[in-house]
Amino acid sequence: MTESRSHITRREALVGAAALGAGFGADRLLGSADHVATPSSASTPDSPAVPFYGSHQSGIATPAQEYLYFAAFDVATDARAELIGALQRWTTAAASLSAGGPYLGDQQELGQPPAEPGEAVGLGPSRLTLTFGFGPSLFEADGRDRFALSRRRPDELRALPPLQGESLEASLSGGDLCVQACADNPQVAFHAVHLLARVASGVFVPRWSQLGFGRTSSTSRGQPTPRNLMGFKDGTENIRAEEASAMSDYVWVQDGDGPSWMTGGSYLVARRIKILFDVWDATTLEGQQRVVGRHKLSGAPLGGTAEYDALDLDTERNGELVIPSDAHVRLASPQVNAGQRILRRGYSYSEGVEAGSGEIDAGLFFIAFQRSPMRQFIPIQRRLAASDALNRHTLHTSSSVFACPPGVRPGEFLGQALFSS
C-alpha cells in the first residue's frame, strides 16, 4: 500500500488532530502552510534559525547547541493511517518551531485551552533543531508487524546487543520513535518537545525523556572544545561537519547500504552513562589523566603538548606506554578500531541526588551518529567495555538505537519514503 502526500491532505491531518483530542485550534497552532515554509521573522542574529528542510535532518551536522531535550515515544495505535497522520503533524509543527514559531500573539481564545503552551514566546528560534528517529519496535514488536513495515526494517536497526558491564533500566531505553531537540536556550528545547507531544496526543505516547545541559562535543571547526563533568575537554577528535568525506564515509547512510528510504539518514545511538563521582573525585590528577589518556587542562594527548597533537600510541617511557594500554582515547581511537569513527553529539545530565546513598546522579547522555552501528558503535563499545579504564568510573544505565531518516523536502512529511512502496 502506498500513501503519498496527496493521499492524506493537510486538511485531513488537521481534522485528524482535532478528532484525536488535539482540537485546540490546530490550524492556528501550526500556522498556515505558507507560514511554515517561510523562515519566521523571529530569527534574529542573537537567536538564529536553522533550516528545517534539506537533504539531511538538522541536529546532526549542525554545530552542537548548548541544550538538549531528548524524548522517546511509543505509538499507541495499530492504524497505519493514524501513524502517518501524526508524522505529518509533527513535520508541520517541526518546520514552524525551527523557524521560531508558532507565534499566536493575541489570537488565543479565552474560552478554550491555549493551543500554544506559550513558554517559548519571545525567545526566538535559538538554533532549535529537531531530529527524529524510528526505533526497531516501530517495525516489529512482540512478533507483531502493526504497520506492515517489518520488511522495510534495515538490518542495522536492532536493539544493541548486551554489552559487558552495563546495568540498563528498561524504562529509560528504547521506544518506537525519538525526538532529539537541541537549542541554545533550554526552554526552547523543552517547548518543542512539549508541543510535539501535544500535537500527536493520543497517537504518540511519551515513554522516557532526558534533559541535557552543556554540549560535550564540537561538531564544527568553529566551536571551542567544551568540558564534560569529569573536567576533561571532550570532543577534540570528533568528526566535524566540514569534513565532507568523513561525513559521507562515517555518518550519512549511502545508496546501497540498505533500504533506500534511509539514504541520506543516519543511525543514532543514545546511552545514559552515569559518572561514579565518589571513585573519580578520589583519583589523583595523574590517575585521571592515565584513565583518559590526555592532559586534563590542555586536552593534549599524554606525551604531547597541545590539544590537537596526534595520539602517539607507540612511545614508551621507562618501559611503559605513555598512553596506557587501557586509556579511553587509545581504545576508542580509529587506529585500534579498523579505522572507524563516529560523530559524537552528547550532553551532560544531572538527575539530582540518589535516595539512600546521597550520591549525585549525573554523567554523560552519550549520543553518536553513524552510518552503521554494526561496524561503528558496537565494535568500539565492545572494545571499551572489555578493558577501558573509564569503566571503573562510569556505569551505562540506558541504551537506545534509532534510524533517523534523511531530511524533509517541502511538501513531504518526515520519513515519507518509508511508507511509499
Which residues are at the interface with ligand HEM (CB under 6 A)? 228, 230, 232-238, 271, 273, 275, 292, 294, 311, 328-329, 332-334, 342, 363-364, 366, 377, 380-381, 384, 390, 394
* Helix (H), strand (E) at residue 14: helix 10-17
Find cell 520488511 and name the residue. 151
Q: Three-class SS of residue 22?
A: helix
CA-nearest of 182, 240, 169, 244 to 211 is 182
Task: Give me the least distance between CB of 69 and ligand HEM, in Å please.
Answer: 20
Q: Three-class SS of residue 37?
A: helix
Q: Supply the DSSP symbol for 142.
A: T
Beta strands 316-317 and 394-404: pairing type? Answer: unpaired
Amino acid making up residue 213: F
Nearer to ligand HEM, 31 or 363 (CB): 363
Nearer to ligand HEM, 94 or 270 (CB): 270
Task: Give me the least distance between CB of 311 and ligand HEM, in Å please.
Answer: 5
Nearer to ligand HEM, 258 or 363 (CB): 363
Q: Supply the DSSP symbol for 233.
A: B
> Using CB atoms within 10 A of its CB, is residue 154 exposed (0-12), middle (13-18) or buried (19+)?
buried
CA-nearest of 362, 346, 353, 352 to 400 is 346
Nearer to ligand HEM, 92 or 236 (CB): 236
Task: Give me the least distance between CB of 270 and ligand HEM, in Å please.
Answer: 11
Nearer to ligand HEM, 194 or 271 (CB): 271
Q: How far apart are CA 308 and CA 322, in angstroms?
A: 17
E-state strands within 238-282: 266-275
Task: Give me the least distance between CB of 329 and ligand HEM, in Å please.
Answer: 4
Nearer to ligand HEM, 268 or 311 (CB): 311
Nearer to ligand HEM, 191 or 344 (CB): 344
Report the alpha-carbon angle 89-92-95, nearest 5. 145
Task: Give me the least distance between CB of 341 and ligand HEM, in Å please.
Answer: 7
Task: Give me the least distance between CB of 319 and ligand HEM, in Å please.
Answer: 24
Task: Give me the least distance between CB of 135 and ligand HEM, in Å please.
Answer: 19
Q: Supply the DSSP symbol for 305.
A: S
